[in-house]
A and B are shown apart, each in its own frame.
Chain A
Amino acid sequence: MTERKFGGDYNPYEDYTIVFTTRRGEHYAAQRFARLFKSWPPEKQTKVAYDCLKKGFTPHLVVNYWITDEDSRQRVKLWCEGRGIKVEETPDEETKSRRARSVLATETQLIDQFSPYLSQLSMAKLLTVKKYRNATAEELQLLIGGTYRLLGDILGPRRHYRREAQQPKFLPLPELPDELFSDDLVIQVLYEHERSTAVPLYNQDPDSLFRYLREIKQTSQHPLKTDFINKLIEHFSAAENLAVSGIKGLIAGSQKDVPNEDEVSLSEFPSRHQREYAFRFLNKSVGRIDLLIGAPRTRKSGAAVFALEAAGAKATVLICPSGINKELWKREIQEKYEEEVEVLIVESERELRSLAQRGAPLRPRYLIMGYQLLSRLDINETPSMFRSLRAKLGLDSLLADEIQLAKEPEAECTKQLYALSRELPENAPRIAMTGTVIINSIEDYDAPLRILLPYRYRQPGDFTRALRNDPELVHTFLVGEELVTRWTFEEVFGQRAPVEYRVEPVPFTPFHLSVYNHVYLDDTIEDQSKRGFLRQTALDPLLIRKHYYPNHIRREIEKLRLKLGERQDDRERKITEARIQALEERLSKVTTLINPNEALSQLSQAHDQFIRWNLEQDENVKFDEDFLTRLDFDKLALWCFFNLQGGVDELVRLSHNRALQKDWVGKGGLYSSKYIRLREQLDEYKKSGDVKVIIGSGFYQSYVSSGIEDVLEEDELAFLSLYDYLRSWYGEAAELKIDGKVSIEPKAGELAERERIRRAWRTDPKYQFMLTTMRACRLGIDLSILPIRANDQIKKVVMIGLDDPDTYADKEQFLNRVEAGDRTLPVELWSYRTTNPEQPRTLRYGFIDHGIAQALEFKRLLSQLAQDGIPLTEEEETFLKSHLSSSRVRIELYPKTPLTYLNMDFFPKVRGKGAKAIIKLYQEAGFEGMTNADFFAAYYPQIEELGIAGQNARAVAEVIRRYQALTGKGHLRIGSIGAGSGILQNTLGEKVINVDLLKEILQVAKAKQQVDGDYITAEAASSPFPAGCFDVTDFSLAVHWTGNRAEYSERISALQELNRITRGLVTITIPHSYLTPVQFASWRSTLEEYFGFRFRDDLPSGLLRATDFRTEPISWIFNMEKVAQPKEGFSRSSLDFGFERVFDIITYSRENSGEKSISIRPYLPHKEFEIVDPGSGSVHKLVYQPTDVDVLEKALSEREARLTSSEVLTLSAEEFGTFRRLVREVRSLWGLKNNDAERLSLQALDLWLKEGYYRHDAVRIWSELKTIVREIHEGSNQ
């Protein structure tokens, strides 16, 4: 950003930024500037308009009044649309569509023709490049975004949006207008579309693709069209002929594990899609980089190896997940080369260092490292180490597998991988791969793309910023720049043997349901744990029993009490206390489910009922926990389950009633409804013997402290896990298990345990069942059944998911483990969902399994919407805002506004951080690529006057005037520390010495000064003033920016400095929500006792509130006189703020702001204030007397004078919405003209704001407003 100049020989008409930055002369300058603007040629108008819009000029003004050329206007409008800038009032659906049609009127024929074939995005690209071919690349991105949205307005993106990916179709090339093919850019769009459509066909049946292309070539007469088709034919022919020496033609591929070599059926390498991938990789306009997002098992690794080889790479560094994957990769690579190639696996930091220092005896073709190793390195040393590694080994290319592991920008491995990529030359080939869609949010693309383009996106967030935080542009950007390649399994391999998806409702057994309901209704579980508890309970009640077992709860409480004794801050202490309270409550609930003395008598009552039931109703009924639950002894069963080590069995043992003991069957620890259902299903498969079953679950072994061998020895609550059950049901020999406990490290000369199990599973039909955790059974593990003779008897593969994982990616990964390009066995995928034993064949909802399934679908949909650039519905936005507590999601999905950036990013980062951190932050890039300093200086003054700072300054000004009257001094020398844009000076109407950290904001202050002031850049803790130089020092709304750390408290220094530089009054104000009354008292006593200040009774301190219009708290105000020197010996924490409390308030109000209420920012011109002393409760009134040149008065009178819609844009969104609605209402009621209607509505809104309440029922607001409008209208008519 250019440095701004003020005063001197500066001519404002040369630099249009001045119009924005000087508020005082804004209106005048804008008019003059507009005249200048209109005299320019259209190109310059467009260019300057972009600049003006970026700087926050009113878009309505710029676009509709300043630009004289119609074409340029449309282009700028579209550009605004792409950036999400609203040019006029928000049009309703109908006008939106009408407008879109009029803008795209010349293209309607094209739209009709293409819409069946092209995706909305391709169409937007086509229309944009056709119309705006002279635009720069950056502009083009935004223009495409704009056209995309316009098209959405016509086509209705959501109505036509299918949840499945849009299947591309070949264009009807012969029918397309010939002139289209004379434009290079249009050809480029069409070509990219046709190419991606042709890939699946090419891969499955190249002959038919070539036949198709030759046929349409014959029917297309026009030479340009023929050229176009020739180019396509050439692309695929060249891909077909792409050959690289040294690569094997036939490989075993996924059949590497086949023990008998005769049985291996070799497959072609590279296959066609791999070949086409490599060819495209070599010829990309963006360079030889690619982010390959392919479904699991679509032969990505082969494609990457081949592409790198084709790109001439000689030594590639390969990063992959640690453990088994490194060995698998080595095997993968080696089988693809004719001659043996050197593949070096680096296991430890020591090995890496020695390689960097001494090199390797044989230059490796591949150097394999794990992400874990990267994470362990020191980022300060690695750049030089990587540099020497590159020099020693000649590394010239990068391949990163499972790149989603490096998507967190702060993660060590991400930083290291970036550093590594940065050490390679700019044009080195780089490929990153992932098996799952990595997008949960837009920012997930940031790190992978930075690793691929390290010279283009240097800082974290650069890529995201390049997208301007606009999700709708993501897809445009990625696909438009050919950064990403996507493969689905179907695209690559076509139709496979069938896959059947089945949802299996598993009815809860009565006792299992009773435990579930107990947990569901339990208020003592923390919010974030509740879901986990419910999921575990739904799988097996034993998994959560530990949390209800009294001895365990008591031990937990003891532990927490011990923790309380340690040093903790207030917040931690509060949390610990709350946890102890919750656990005590849980303990008392669990122990008093029934009166323990009555347990035995209740049991014998139940037994009596059982005998009767057995005789009268059903002789097959079992006397077990389910029976107890059914007969209203559910509390007894629960009590036993939670309180007794052996459950009801133990109570039965204690009863000494022989008959009862004989009748009692019990569930013997098998409480899980899912396990019972699973056993039924597995029994069938065991009988048939021709099915292989993979059972996956996230939790089956949580909290199992010991296996079957030492059950009940180590831990009193140990129980059998599912694996134990499987072994006891089907014998040791038939089952395999892969989970976190199965080692991935190979022993000397032997395979790793997990690898051994994996191979046994693929080749040995004896192993019919395999149990895995969803976590272990992900990432690169091939569990497909090999087509060998031994497996001939296997007819089907069944995968049973006992519970759904947290993310859709995990689920997809699990499901795809048995996929392979040559799979011939049918697959069944079962998802177990616990539900009620109600009538079958109905839709069931409400249990956690249903909820998780819904959540997965919802997440998948949102992520797909974000990627495809489909806007969210209002309801989804509301739901997201209110239900997903993470602010990250919100920020990523919605473009930031200056206000949200200020409130959600900027202020939290400066609060309590101290001058150094703030200066650093000022220099960083923030909103829309502006530095934070520029942003703050440009934006903050706009909201300052009517915001809290303005209110506060008026009150402080009045305090200073009172002090002047009390002391009888004529002229006061006033210093304002943290002066900002000089609000106090303008409010007071007297010269002030303005001190601030930020030079830029002082420049703004100087530009808008009403009286001459002095401006000095300095820190509060070390100011350049002599001692006692100020009569009055104001330290308003700035002390909360100072740091208060143990090693150095800037806050204390600043307060001591205030004492030094003042000889009279010191005024400190702090935003009202940052202190509690108790904290205020602590501050007050500390300032009085240790900082040499005396509180004046005639200038009271306390909570400052505005009282006219409506009561609004503003700040805490301290008015003190200097009487002594500061002293030492107080506690730093007595000067703390309640920031945590602020967040509580924010969260609380967010949680509770349903659709019923709207909040309105206190943009009111308050003049009457009161100061309430929280100690004595006394109230002192203050009335602000405006100065001759009062800014507020001027702003308000200007606002009244110019009641245009652009002015109303400064209202908050809710107000603006209400305003528009009111205008419409007024227009339709009395048939007024737009201007009159707006004037009337604004008057009504102002009146309502002054008389209304802070929070209100939305329906009432509307009716109140209508009444007010009616009154004004009738009044004016009379």
Chain B
Amino acid sequence: MTTEQQKAEIRMSFDRPGAEVCGDLAAHWMNHTDRRKIYKGQAKVLGLQTDSMVRFFTIEEVVLFEDSYTRERWPRSRSLAIASLSPGEVISFMSQGQHVLTFIKTQGAENIMFSSLQEIDRFGDPLRGEGHILTTSSVAKIVGLTHGMRGQLTPIHFKGDRAFLLATGARELSNEELDALEKELMEDFESLRSTP
């Protein structure tokens, strides 16, 4: 899978109305304006790239912030920053001067906040019972996102199922991808040489 293909996949997954995305992303989701109404969805696995390892969580709960609400509530700050991202990009904002919350952009200024994640795996060994719950502000903390910082999602496979890996900085490439990239570059190089 090339970088372009990955980008396309991320776009395909997130360039959709937020309600749809939420349903495909988390076990439960709600709209920020009405938090009492909880919808059910299909939970995906999210890998978080920390300083020293990747930890895996199922997305238990997300909160949807609709485009209109975001623009009305944060007209000059958050909404502008989110609108300037491409779908599937992740950004963190500090809320009330304490918690750094993490959002995925979908369309326009619409965005989804990670609200609750549950750890499922410890070095390939399944975690029994309750597991480790991550609250909304811990996501940014363990990935290393600070206010206004962006993160990248990479499509990965977790036990063969589609999942996403959230990391700051550059997107991670697999060995095969690196090989392919090198091959592509070499081909480009060869074609350059052969053209007079």
Contacts and interface: CB of A to CB of B under 8 A. Distances in A.
A896 B37 CA distance: 48
B124 A848 contact: yes
A852 B174 contact: no
Nearest to A502: B175
Given A158-B51, A838-B157, A1156-B133, A843 B128 contact: no
Contacts of B135: 1155-1156, 1259
A698 to B, nearest CB: 15
Interface string B153-164: 011111111010
Interface stretch (A337-345, A527-535, A579-587): A527-535
A847 B159 contact: yes
B170 interface: no
Contacts of B15: none
B124 A850 contact: yes
Contact of B177 (A841, A845, A847, A1262): A841
Given A520-B126, A857-B53, A875 B177 contact: no
Given A843-B156, A850-B124, A1259-B135, A861 B174 contact: no
Interface in B160-196: 160-161, 163, 165, 172, 174-177, 180
Interface in A1146-1201: 1152, 1154-1156
Among B1, B47, B52, B177: residue with most chain A CB under 10 A: B52
A361 to B, nearest CB: 57
A1023 B45 CA distance: 65
Given A530-B125, A848-B124, A875-B142, A842 B174 contact: yes
Interface in B107-121: 121
B83 interface: no
A503 B175 contact: yes
B156 A844 contact: yes
B133 A1154 contact: yes
Contact of B157 (A521, A845, A1154, A1262): A845
B141 interface: yes
A842 B180 CA distance: 11
A849 B124 contact: yes
Given A851-B124, A1154-B132, A846 B157 contact: yes
Interface in A628-664: none
Nearest to A1258: B135
A744 B45 CA distance: 49
Given A843-B157, A844-B157, A531 B125 contact: yes
A505 B172 CA distance: 17
Given A845-B47, A862-B52, A882 B121 contact: no
A520 B128 CA distance: 11
Contact of A836 (B53, B134, B159, B174): B159
A843 B172 contact: yes
A857 B51 CA distance: 12
A968 interface: no
Given A158-B51, A846-B124, A851-B123, A1155 B138 contact: yes
A909 B145 CA distance: 44
B125 A845 contact: no
Contacts of A530: 125-126
A858 B51 CA distance: 10
B158 A846 contact: yes
Given A841-B180, A1154-B133, A875 B50 contact: yes
A851 B52 contact: no
B58 to A, nearest CB: 12
A806 to B, nearest CB: 11
Contact of B1 (A534, A842, A854): A842
A696 B88 CA distance: 42
Interface string A498-526: 00001101000000010000001101000
B68 to A, nearest CB: 28
A876 B51 contact: yes
Given A158-B51, A843-B174, A852 B124 contact: yes
Interface in A826-867: 835-852, 854-855, 857-858, 861-862
A873 interface: yes
A883 interface: yes
B54 interface: yes
A882 B174 contact: no
B157 A854 contact: no
Contacts of A861: 52
A845 B133 contact: no
B144 to A, nearest CB: 8
Nearest to B174: A843
B72 interface: no
Among A527, A845, A1259: residue with most chain B CB under 10 A: A845
A1156 B133 CA distance: 8
Contacts of A531: 123-125
A850 B1 CA distance: 19
Contacts of A527: 128
Contacts of A855: 123-124
Nearest to B2: A841
B165 A838 contact: no
B56 interface: yes
A850 B125 CA distance: 10
Contacts of A875: 50-51, 141-142
Interface of A: 158, 502-503, 505, 513, 520-521, 523, 527, 530-531, 534, 835-852, 854-855, 857-858, 861-862, 873-876, 879, 882-883, 1152, 1154-1156, 1259, 1262
6 contacts: A835-B160, A838-B160, A848-B125, A851-B121, A852-B123, A858-B52
5 closest A-B pairs by CB: A851-B124, A836-B160, A846-B159, A848-B124, A851-B123
Given A845-B54, A846-B159, A851-B124, 14 more contacts: A503-B175, A838-B160, A839-B1, A840-B176, A842-B155, A842-B157, A843-B172, A845-B47, A845-B156, A845-B163, A845-B165, A846-B158, A847-B124, A861-B52
Interface of B: 1-2, 45, 47, 50-56, 98, 121-126, 128, 130, 132-135, 138, 141-142, 154-161, 163, 165, 172, 174-177, 180
